[in-house]
Amino acid sequence: MDKPLATVRGEIALIVVILINSFSVVLMLYAGSGISAISSVPYAFSLVLPFLTLGTWTYIFHGLLVLTLMILRKRFVPQYLFSFVVGFLFSEMIDVYEGWINVLPQTIPLRVVYFVASYLIMSFGIALSNRCKLPIIPTDLFPRELSDITKIRYQRVKIPFDISCLCVTAVMTYCFLGHITGLGIGTVLAAFTMGKAISIMGHFLDKHFVFVSFLEKETKSHISVPKWIPVGKKN
């Protein structure tokens, strides 16, 4: 007999996602191995146009992603606006973490630890957000919804999306600053492998937990999802 799945409130999961994913973005940048792919574009804008903070540029980037999804859907999707609000909270937390991250010591061994920790935290956070059954951060929402629109597996959408972000960042910083900045070996490694890491952590969550939220009735089945979350696209 299979062991019953533990029930987790999606609201709590989403709060955890906002807190840990925003921290992982800042920690990866602090590690000196480059910023995460999903935050590289707003980071480039914060360097080229520094009159706005990284958090603010992240919020603007989120808005563009949400707008793009609505254009691809060819209709207004109210749930995407909730995702926009979640993205705002995520952006604000980035600025909060940036305000104190410098207190952490920086040595070469510790930078390696920071990168590995940020990579694992971010992968887990994205896998968790895809299962919380609530509107999620736009940078996590975009590849998941694009996968549903195009009917292409999530992993095959996530990796090209991350690589596209890196290309935009490289072009922007090189053209306006005269050199490529913000991108490092860690950024490239994460872009090419994080899709798989998210999938692995997602399968782990599916085996042990079922997520419920106020947007749907509690159920023993972990397959039931809100209408805007495509079944089978949770990874």
Both ends of the chain: CA-CA distance in Å?
Answer: 26
Per-position b or e across 196-229, b if 16+ CB within 10 A of its CB: ebbbebbeebbeeebbbbebbeeeeebebbeebb
Please tell me which residue, 226 or 188, carries the higher pLDDT value. 188
pLDDT for 15 equals 92
Residue 155, pLDDT above cutoff 70 = yes
Return all residues near 168 (Cβ < 8 A) that are at least 6 apart: 40, 41, 44
CA–CA distance, 97 with 80 (Å, rounded to integer) = 26
Residues 23/113, Cβ–Cβ less than 8 Å: no
Phi and psi at 135, nearest 5°, equal -55, 135
How much is the average pLDDT of 97-117? Answer: 91
Q: In Å, how far are 17, 31, 38, 230 from 219, measured between CA atoms?
A: 22, 42, 33, 17
pLDDT for 136 equals 81
CA–CA distance, 31 with 156 (Å, rounded to integer) = 27
Query: Global pTM?
Result: 0.74
pLDDT band at 13 (very low <50, low <70, confident <90, very high): very high
pLDDT (tens digit, 9 = 90+) per residue, 180-222?
887 888 888 887 888 789 889 999 999 988 888 877 654 444 3
Return all residues near 157 (Cβ < 8 A) that are at least 6 apart: 143, 146, 147, 150
Residue 226, pLDDT above cutoff 70 = no
